[in-house]
Amino acid sequence: MIKKLLLIFVFICSLQGFTQEEYLGDGPHAQLIIRGVMLINGDGSPPRGPMDIVVENNRITKMQIVGYPGVKINEKRRPKLKEGGKELDANGMYLLPGFIDMHGHIGGAAQGASPEYVFKLWMAHGITTVRQPSGINALHLKRQSAENKIVAPRIFEYTGFGSGSEKAISTQKEARAWVRKNAKNGADGVKFFGAEPEIMAAAIAENKKLGLRSTAHHAQLSVARWNVLHSARAGMTSMEHWYGLPEALFEDRTVQNYPLDYNYQNEQHRFEEAGKLWAQAAKPYSKHWNKVLDELLRLDFTLDPTFNIYEASRDLQRARRAEWHELYTMPKLWEFYQPSKISHGSYWHFWGTEQEVQWKKNYQLWMTFVNEYKNRGGRVTVGTDSGFIYQLYGFAYPRELELLREAGFHPLEVIRAATLNGAEALGWDDQIGSVQIGKLADFVIVEENPLVNLKVLYGTGAIKLTKDNKVVRVGGVKYTIKDGIIYDAKRLLAEVKKMVDAEKAKTNWKLKQPGVKN
Ligand SMILES: [Zn+2]
């Protein structure tokens, strides 16, 4: 019966494929008025509403409070719709600045994740801007997105250092030449993984001279001689994940306490030992810990922790059984996540209680640093790094917000990290990152209050009981607005499901848990 239904469904989908035109949202409109929202801004200010927001030619021109809670709105006082304008009834809904994902790889062949699949998952979760820190060459996609010819967030491309060059960069001269070429190609910055110290210094300095920004995943191979502090002092503007930070905090050692039979090529070794790393660093609030934190602050360095991408290390089952996998994870991506000695981030050789407990402690120390960095005025952003370690594009974003909340951020601080902080880190805070007159029209609209429960931002929504004891799902982003174009977020998710179902139908594929025969 289920098989029959599936066949009918696949048939309907394929029919729709012929009859439906590509969905590119609603707009742009000469004038757009969004009516009656509760504004949750990205600047740390408290929610206020009801408000009407007017957009003209993709710029916010008016933000008008139109009443008081529980009092009937005086319609005469509301901004007037011009001829040819568009009105969006969002009464009682919550409006936030478009979300910024500072660490988004635009899929890849190994994961079976096409740019279209990735973009739709992001847009369905309110992500209107993404920084790609290395990955597929996305300069053409960046252009198409800027022209709104495709459904995609605006893209900032931070090219992987050395990518595209025929041989490995081994001199300062080559490093500077690569950086100049990268800027000329139209990239927005550089992402480093680590290199010889003199190469790092030359490349970062040249990149800074050109006015571009930079970040790094400080890979374990280079951190003994070049950690986060070296990067920040050399002029790097941000860091990814956390590697290189405990190393800057070492007091009683200069290298991580590697077991003597360790092999970096063995990813269980790599991730298991990483889980013990924060415990080897200076204690929170100790003299050295404070000194490192304050120096990074003075250098205006941005932390992009990407907490979510390591979460399977502290709770593998949670990440593996996330409810969206059945509906929205591509078969090939699911296979990529499975235990493997080859696939990156699939280090489940024998991952158990001991490793998870270590990682839980690792998180506490890491989160303490990140939260205190924020408390002292440091910039922390939201990045996801999906496509690895059971983390799915789009869905990982609310999870990252929840983990910042767990680290100690007030929900309004979480939203600021997701919006204005990202914009500042990109050098685009005069254009995006908060709802402000003169800025571009990038918004997220949701029917539930995300400050009360961040889970309402998941595409699958949050579970709620009604007054008469019925189980319902609430939330999921309602509209994502980018460049003043309104996208029905649920429609985008449905399109993703259709793509996934079509892939599954090709081989009658079913999602199986690792090692289970059925
Ligand atoms: Zn990454």
Query: For residue 35, how far is its CA from the centre of ligand 1 (angstroms)?
Result: 38
Task: Flag whether pLDDT at 7 surpasses 70.
Answer: no
Task: Flag whether pLDDT at 127 surpasses 90.
Answer: yes
Query: For residue 382, how far is its CA from the centre of ligand 1 (angstroms)?
Result: 13
Distance (Å, rounded) from C-alpha 152 to C-alpha 442? 12
| pLDDT number for residue 314 | 98
Q: What's phi and psi for 132, nearest 5 deg?
A: -95, 110
**Better-scored residue on pLDDT, 5 or 386:** 386
**Could you say which DSSP state residue 98 is in?**
P
Query: For residue 436, how far is its CA from the centre of ligand 1 (angstroms)?
Result: 31
| Helix/strand/coil for 324 | coil
Using one digit for the tens of pLDDT, what is the confidence trace for 314-354?
999 999 999 999 999 999 999 999 999 998 889 999 999 99
The answer to whether residues 166 and 158 touch, using CB atoms and an 8 Å cutoff, is: no
Task: Flag whether pLDDT at 48 surpasses 50.
Answer: yes
Distance (Å, rounded) from C-alpha 197 to C-alpha 177? 17
Residue 378 Rama label (left phi>0; alpha psi -120 to 50; beta): beta
Instruction: Spell out where 188-247 has E strands.
Output: 189-192, 213-216, 238-240
**Better-scored residue on pLDDT, 74 or 36:** 36
| pLDDT number for residue 518 | 66
Query: For residue 135, how far is its CA from the centre of ligand 1 (angstroms)?
Result: 8
Distance (Å, rounded) from C-alpha 484 to C-alpha 487? 10
Query: For residue 302, how far is its CA from the centre of ligand 1 (angstroms)?
Result: 16
| pLDDT number for residue 372 | 98
Token code pair at residue 174:
């080559």
What is the pLDDT confidence band of residue 360, given thresholds at 50, 70 and 90?
A: very high
Task: Flag whether pLDDT at 8 surpasses 90.
Answer: no
The answer to whether residues 443 and 39 touch, using CB atoms and an 8 Å cutoff, is: no
| Helix/strand/coil for 281 | coil
What is the pLDDT confidence band of residue 9, given thresholds at 50, 70 and 90?
A: very low
| Helix/strand/coil for 53 | strand
Distances (CA, A) of 464 to 66, 445, 479: 30, 20, 21
Token code pair at residue 108:
């890849």
Distance (Å, rounded) from C-alpha 469 to C-alpha 463? 12
Query: For residue 385, how far is its CA from the centre of ligand 1 (angstroms)?
Result: 5
Selection from 207, 215, 214, 166 nearest residue 183 by Cα: 207
Using one digit for the tens of pLDDT, what is the confidence trace for 369-410?
999 999 999 999 999 999 999 999 999 999 999 999 999 999
| pLDDT number for residue 20 | 53
Distance (Å, rounded) from C-alpha 472 to C-alpha 35? 26
Query: For residue 9, how far is its CA from the centre of ligand 1 (angstroms)?
Result: 36
| pLDDT number for residue 43 | 97
| pLDDT number for residue 343 | 86
| pLDDT number for residue 74 | 87
| pLDDT number for residue 473 | 97
* Cis bond upstream, residue 50 (ω within 30): yes
Query: Mean pLDDT for the chain?
Result: 95
Query: For residue 200, how far is its CA from the centre of ligand 1 (angstroms)?
Result: 19
| pLDDT number for residue 77 | 86
Using one digit for the tens of pLDDT, what is the confidence trace for 216-237?
999 999 999 999 999 999 999 9
Token code pair at residue 388:
């690895």
Task: Flag whether pLDDT at 21 surpasses 80.
Answer: no
Q: Which residue has the tokens 């800057």?
A: 248
| Ligand 1 ion local residues (Cβ < 5 A) | 385
Q: CB neighbours (10 Å) of residue 166? A: 4
Query: For residue 158, how far is its CA from the centre of ligand 1 (angstroms)?
Result: 11
Mean pLDDT of 165-191: 96
Query: For residue 146, how far is its CA from the centre of ligand 1 (angstroms)?
Result: 23
Mean pLDDT of 493-508: 97
One-letter amino acid at 163 equals S
Q: Which residue has the tokens 């309602």?
A: 478
Query: For residue 133, how far is its CA from the centre of ligand 1 (angstroms)?
Result: 6
| pLDDT number for residue 16 | 44
Using one digit for the tens of pLDDT, what is the confidence trace for 473-485?
999 999 999 999 9
Query: For residue 103, how far is its CA from the centre of ligand 1 (angstroms)?
Result: 6
What is the pLDDT confidence band of residue 161, given thresholds at 50, 70 and 90?
A: very high
Query: For residue 485, how far is its CA from the centre of ligand 1 (angstroms)?
Result: 29
| pLDDT number for residue 317 | 97
* CA of residue 41 relative to chain centroid, distance: 18
Distance (Å, rounded) from C-alpha 123 to C-alpha 478? 11
The answer to whether residues 170 and 140 touch, using CB atoms and an 8 Å cutoff, is: no
Task: Flag whether pLDDT at 501 surpasses 60.
Answer: yes
Distance (Å, rounded) from C-alpha 479 to C-alpha 388? 27
| pLDDT number for residue 15 | 44
Mean pLDDT of 483-493: 98
Q: What's phi and psi for 9, nearest 5 deg?
A: -60, -45
Query: For residue 92, how far is its CA from the centre of ligand 1 (angstroms)?
Result: 37
What is the pLDDT confidence band of residue 98, given thresholds at 50, 70 and 90?
A: very high
| pLDDT number for residue 131 | 98
Contacts of 444 (CB under 8 A, 6+ apart): 95, 96, 97, 98, 99, 126, 128, 477, 479, 480, 481
